[in-house]
Structure 1
Amino acid sequence: MVAGRISTGVPGLDVMLHGGLIPGRVYLVKGSPGTGKTTLAMHFAMAGVANGESVLYITLEEPAENIREDFGRMGFDVYHEDFTLIDATPTTEHYVLVEDFFETFAKNLNKLTESIKEQFRVRRYSRVVVDPITMLKLATKDEIDYRRAFLTFVKSMMRLKVTVLITSELERTDIEEYLVSGVIEMKLLERDGKLMRAIKVTKFRGSGFDNVIRPYEITETGMVVHPDRTVP
């Protein structure tokens, strides 16, 4: 690992990033459903756990029990004491809980920002995952309000000096791409009648990066990027 960088947990992707992510910044992973955004996010989270860091993972779409089951089967240490998984999905079960994580974390982007800051008063985290931010954007009717809220989110996370990875399923992520420090795009392409996965880094402030579209795979043990190959 290059000095001053932190691992994404995906060795081939670290190569594309010339050594990994710059800590203390906010990064966006975008792609259509099924591209593996949550898998990449889990690699990022588990790389922090493996490094002795405390990690906060907020799921806004996939129930926590599904995440633990699926990624536990792949060999990820999803029950580690340094891994905090908060289920903020809008399912009916949450309305009978004493603490309603959907209302506190996922009602809107400002709520999410304040709830994360509240978590930091209890425990110091070095990595945070928000997966995905899509529903929060769709729930905000006024575009100007969302832009203002997203700017507040980014500034708040940088003040906390935490490395944040957010995922999005939307093709148009204008304000997010403008304000974050890096953008990683995951795609499903059709080649000779077969689906192929491709990844590219479209933005990485403060560093050079590999701007070639590279193939990747989702295997039984996670994500594998091939930084020495090109997409035909």
Structure 2
Amino acid sequence: MSDIQNLLGETMITSRISTGVPGLDIMISGGLIPGRTYLIKGAPGTGKTTLAMHFAMAGVANGENVLYITLEEPGENIKQDFSKMGFDVYNENFTLIDATPTTEHYVLVEDFFESFAKNLAKLTDAIKEQFRTKRYSRIVIDPITMLKFTASNELEYRKAFLAFVKSMMRLRTTVVLTSENTQVDIEEYLVDGVLQLEIFEREGRLERAIKILKFRGSGFDNVIRPYEITERGMIVYPDKSIV
């Protein structure tokens, strides 16, 4: 039995935690299994960050401490945009770490970039360090794609990603990763669930669809369902299908 299987066996599947999107919770039999790692993948503009923020805010609304690490979009932009949509991003239980290397305030966040975004191993160590002062029940890393570019080769990245997943399991935290890679990649084999967001054109208008590619430890909806991005966030329609 592998180390991951041993760790999974230690995780009691006694409850589910909400993604923050009711329709999606229905698709995955009530929500995510706590203490595991999940991947949201999709092309730019599909709403990956929006879904990740729903997950984060569901934790905040439940009184949980949530850690959100942004590696691409400046943190202040994220707070401004989602605050306008009604998300409680200034709540004291929500910690947003801006580890982007290209913001105007780069000099001020250089330490965060070096710790969280230099490579996957450093990210893992930096998260462990965060847990010394506060326990986070939910973590978002948006997007994990950025860290793959730092690896010298595929094998190095696979080992680092496996070590990351094991570490998060030991911390007993639920992790949501986003990725812009729409092809099957290493992460999909090692995470516990994969949600894919798609956008396509039909009769002159853009439509969106969500499908569950993988969800360990539970049954899930195999039907591709439509969703919308509104001024209040994401809405998934679990009673409709893409035809």
TM-score, length of structure 2 as denominator length: 0.92
* Alignment root-mean-square deviation, CA: 1.4
Answer whether contact 2:100 2:106 (CA < 8 A) is retained: no
Q: What percentage of aligned pairs have identical amino acids?
A: 74
Equivalenced residues, count: 231
Which amino acid is the alignment partner of residue 81 of structure 2? D
SS at match of 1:122: coil
Measure, in 1, the Cα distance between the counterparts of 2:211 and 2:198: 9
Match status 1:109 vs 2:120: yes
Measure, in 1, the Cα distance between the counterparts of 2:121 and 2:237: 38
The C-alpha deviation readout for 1:62-118, integer Å capped at 9, x for no partner, is 001100110000000000000000000112545422762111100011111110010
Match status 1:223 vs 2:234: yes
Alignment correspondent of 2:201:
190
* Greater Cα offset, 166-175 or 19-28: 166-175
Measure, in 1, the Cα distance between the counterparts of 2:100 and 2:21: 27
| Residue segments in structure 2 that go unaligned for 5+ positions in a row | 1-12
SS at match of 2:168: helix
Which amino acid is the alignment partner of residue 74 of structure 2? P
Measure, in 2, the Cα distance between the counterparts of 1:92 and 1:195: 31
Answer whether contact 2:24 2:236 (CA < 8 A) is retained: yes
TM-score, length of structure 1 as denominator length: 0.96
Answer whether contact 2:50 2:234 (CA < 8 A) is retained: yes
Correspondence list, 1:166-185, <5 A: 166-185=177-196
Alignment correspondent of 1:211:
222
In structure 2, the CA distance between the partners of 1:218 and 1:98, relative to structure 1 (3 Å rule), is: closer
| Residue segments in structure 1 that go unaligned for 5+ positions in a row | none
* Greater Cα offset, 42-51 or 167-176: 167-176
SS at match of 2:25: helix
Answer whether contact 1:14 1:21 (CA < 8 A) is retained: yes
Shift of 1:194: 1.6
The C-alpha deviation readout for 1:130-149, integer Å capped at 9, x for no partner, is 00011111221311000000
Answer whether contact 2:59 2:66 (CA < 8 A) is retained: yes
Measure, in 2, the Cα distance between the counterparts of 1:105 and 1:115: 6
SS at match of 2:211: strand
